[in-house]
Chain A
Amino acid sequence: MLLIGAEDEEKWLAEGIAGVQHNAFYLHRALDSNNLRDALKYSAQMLSELRTSKLSPQKYYELYMRAFDELRILEMFFKDESKHGVSVVDLYELVQHAGNILPRLYLLCTVGSVYIKSKEAPAKELLQDLVEMCHGVQHPIRGLFLRSYLAQISRDKLLDIGSDYEGDADTVMDAVEFILENFTEMNKLWVRMQLEGPGRVREKREKERSALQELVGKNLHVLSQIEGVDLEIYKETVLPRVLEQVVNCKDDLSQYYLMDCIIQVFPDEYHLQTLEMLLAACPQVQPTVDIKTVLSRLMDRLSKYAASSADVLTEFLQVEAFTKLSNAIEKVIEVQVDMPAVGAITLYVSLLTFTLRVHPDRLDYVDQVLGACVKKLSSIPKLEDSRATKQVVALLSAPLEKYNDTVTALKISNYPRVMDHLDNGTNKVMAMVIIESIMKNNTCISTADKVEVLFELIKGLIKDLDSATDELDEEDFKDEQNSVAKLIHMLYNNEPEEMLKIICIVWKHTMAGGPKRLPFTVPSLVFSALRLVRQLQGQEGDIVGEEVPATPKKIFQLLSQMIEALSAVPSPELALRLYLQCAEAANGCDLEYVAYEFFTQVFVLYEEEIANSKAQVTAIHLIIGALQRMNVFSVENRDTLTHKTTGYSARLLKKPDQCRAVYACSHLFWVDGQDGIRDGERVLLCLKRALRIANAAQQMASIARDSSGPVTLFVEILNKYLYYFEKGNKQITAAAIQHLIELINTEMQGDSATSDAFLASTLRYIQFQKQRGGVMGAKFESIKL
């Protein structure tokens, strides 16, 4: 067959339509004059236009529709015996006199439908006859349209018959038999289209065939509409016959379409009850059939059905839907050797989705699905196909989304095994998904075992995987590690013992992560541990004996290990802060030596690692703050530490920094509270020293810049004076304050009299205290402004 130009085709179609119209005109005239003879003659001539072989299916359809409309009119005429005076029985014979088969059969179908409706003969026999006679048209397109006409014109009659319960069930079967027969023949014709013509137009032919698929599928649709087709009939007759046809036709297009059609047109309930049969057909289709899509749709439908009502669920259990589906999928994968990995995994995703929707309580099912997937994955090399990995991610994400509780997913033993088959990048993505899920749902992971599993799952984030030398995006890396840090806070158990275990496990894992990750993970872990310490501290009374595994001491040992690990990074500032935190916690636990040890570490770090002057300033202030709150130390130890601190303070690089650090040190000697140290002498010493430094700073400034700096430092010191004065430090006298104010004023005069807001506020405060009266007012009385 030559490739036909579209233009020619248009021309032929136009000719065909003209032919139909021409004869239709005479047909109408004959009908108007009730002339049966002419009506038959012209209708046959009109239908002869459909004998063309020149049109593509789409064009042929146009022509067919023209003729179809005319035939409906003819049918009305046939129906009315008073018009033509011939009984329908005779009419049925009369139309068979036509010499050309195609017009003959169209007319026969038309009369046949009238005949059925008249009930003058058993519908069964008529239907059987019609469907049998149509065998005469073996040309695929013409045959398909003829049979489609038969289906169309008999449809309403069939629905009547098929739904007529007043008769016996046989009538339903008659209708069913008829449709099945017609369906089978149509499918055969449809498949045969593929074999026609040379191979090079295969693609075109497939397109043409797709255009016709609905003609075939229509039959199934009608079947589904017949009320009389109950489950019994569907199971015993309809489905086996349809499937037989599907399997035997060995045509991929047909198989795919029909399987899908079956799934779409019949009720879910039927599918459920005939699952085995339906699924048994799946492995038998051609390897080129996209059976995974078909199965996915089936499962999708079933799971929606399951969701529709609770009663339905028991049915699912009864028929063991899961087992059947699972077996079917396994078989399909086994049989279709060439199916790409992505196909198999997609199938598993569908099955998993089904399971999660239908049997959310059956974790073992989920596990089973994942297990099967692992089996499949292990039979192929590491996944390279990005679509396949995407599907695996989908597979793994599904349970997380479903359960809202990641813990559940952790129970699935095959989960990590599936993850093993992912490449590093995807593995990380997956790990992130898991973490996000935990965060989103605020899931608390509360046992060591689970933690162990979880970290196994997200190990892509926790440590460098083998040969992971690929360039990492810094930003991504930070995000990932921050997520891990967040995750650590989600690991919590009220039982100290278990909590300690959890911490140990996390530590074990994070330690393996290398210096790059520690700064992110260690703080979380440290604080997590400190929380445990505080918890233990709270219930101290309960802790008796050495048998108790979770004692603060042990935890502190662990903590110091952790922080020490940071030095390898190195990240001294972070370590320093963490040590201070630990020291405070130790303080709370009354563990002097431990606290002292931590401080020692702090100073070591300060001396050896922190060189940056700015960092030093920050560090000093942190140290001062922490030390100030310590109350566990003996005098001796405290002296050592405060001495060290003040020493470091005075040795800071910049004078203002020195000054501030030194006056801050004064607080180390004056602690509010019942048994706080109140060494006024040394406070005064600190403040005086600070003043000296401030003076020096002032002078240095005036020399270096020929202008004296602001008096801020003095005002700050003044504030310290006032603070201690109020607190009742005997060493701080009103005279000293007076003196300081004067000093500041002197300094101010040298300066251009820019009013200093800080100073003004301070002075206003003094004024306020003076006027307040009472004890405090009296105390301030002597200060003159």
Chain B
Amino acid sequence: MNFLIGAFKPACNISITFSDGKSRKQVPMKKENGKTIMVSLFQSKESIAGKVSIEPLQGKKIEHLGVKVELLGQIEMYFDRGNFYDFTSLVRELDVPGDIYERKTYPFEFSTVEMPYETYNGANLRLRYVLKVTVSRNYGGSIVEYQDFIVRNYSPPPSINNSIKMEVGIEDCLHIEFEYNKSKYHLKDVIIGKIYFLLVRIKIKNMDLEIRRRESTGSGANTHVETETLAKFELMDGAPVRGESIPIRLFLSPYELTPTYRNINNKFSVKYYLNLVLVDEEDRRYFKQQEIAIYRQQDS
């Protein structure tokens, strides 16, 4: 049976390790099969260095036409399955054609890599970064190994960050004034604000604040938009009277948010909205949606 095993098994084991793998921050990543694994976290302009080691199976040699490692940034549209758009592609040749008889280790380094986009797992697409090692062969096909890693880019706090303040209403029925303390929030931020009731002639049952994510892919006529409600946060229970002021304090950390992405590689955008919803006793909904920008802030 031994030979059979040998036939189905790859001819060698390829492992990719980052040189600072021990100290680098690991973050969870969801794989296609639903499993979560921990992978290394990078940001743009970091150098990505490590080792590729190739270990042939016991007593076998590998004839190859060369060994290379690629750093790929890909956008994958689910409705366009199998098609990857590589927006970044860097290659390092590790070995000239030859034979490998025993375990062989190649160091590599991509220095100061531009990785402008963040890893993203959306409803209709994903953006991933991956290291791809290829051992090219004449026959039996090339041997390929992937190593995912995650890129997150941090933004400095915006210099201008105005509050969102607005008065809305239905004539002679409901007038409210709401205020969110900022228009740009970081991922661990808290939304502070208040809703002030100027006029209430309807029986309100409750009021929620929703966080909605709007993911749009494609462009022009082919634009595909997917909206998801990520958070539904009850702000108020019962009917307020005129003059009442209801506080808002919504912590963003429990929700799986990403920064706002605008027109990433002309392929997609991800935007966030705060949706204030009032529900009356007859379950009619009154709402007002406001876009907020979300950014990633360096942990202090």
Contact = CB atoms under 8 A, between A and B. Distances in A.
**Is B one of A's binding partners?**
yes
Interface of A: 51, 93, 96-97, 99-102, 104, 132-133, 135-140, 142-143, 192
By CB atoms of chain B within 10 A, which of A136, A139, A143 has the most? A136
B20 interface: no
B235 interface: yes
A143 B236 CA distance: 10
Interface string B226-265: 0000011111111111001111010101100000000000
B234 A101 contact: yes
Given A96-B249, A192-B241, A136 B254 contact: no
A138 B249 contact: no
Given A97-B254, A99-B232, A99-B233, A137 B249 contact: no
A101 B236 contact: yes
Contacts of B235: 101, 136
B238 A142 contact: yes
Q: Which of A93, A100, A101, A192 has the most CB of B within 10 A?
A: A101
Given A140-B238, A192-B241, A135 B247 contact: yes
A51 B254 CA distance: 23
Given A96-B251, A97-B251, A99-B232, A135 B246 contact: yes
Residue in A93, A104, A135 whose Cβ sees the most chain B Cβ within 10 Å: A135
A137 B251 contact: no
Given A97-B254, A99-B232, A138 B247 contact: no
B244 A99 contact: no
14 contacts: A97-B251, A99-B232, A102-B237, A132-B247, A133-B247, A135-B246, A138-B237, A138-B239, A138-B246, A139-B237, A139-B238, A139-B239, A140-B238, A143-B237
Contacts of A137: 236-238
Q: Is the interface of A mostly helix, strand, loop or mixed?
A: helix
Interface of B: 206, 231-241, 244-247, 249, 251, 253-254
Contacts of B251: 93, 96-97
Contacts, number: 52
A96 B254 CA distance: 10
Contacts of A140: 238
Contacts of A142: 237-238
A186 to B, nearest CB: 14
A466 B206 CA distance: 72
Given A135-B245, A138-B244, 18 more contacts: A93-B251, A96-B249, A96-B251, A97-B251, A99-B232, A101-B206, A101-B237, A104-B234, A133-B247, A136-B234, A136-B236, A136-B247, A137-B236, A138-B240, A138-B246, A139-B239, A142-B238, A143-B238
B233 A138 contact: no
Among B232, B234, B240, B246, residue most surrounded by chain A Cβ atoms (within 10 Å): B234
Contacts of A136: 234-237, 246-247
Residue in A99, A140, A143 whose Cβ sees the most chain B Cβ within 10 Å: A99
Contacts of A93: 251
Nearest to A137: B237
A175 to B, nearest CB: 21
Most buried by A among B235, B237, B246: B237
Contacts of B206: 101
Contacts of B232: 99
Nearest to A100: B234
Contact of B236 (A51, A96, A97, A138): A138
Contact of B249 (A51, A99, A133, A139): A133
A734 B239 CA distance: 123
The CB with the most chain B CB atoms within 10 A, among A100, A102, A133, A138, is that of A138
Contacts of A100: 234
A62 B237 CA distance: 21
Contacts of B247: 132-133, 135-136
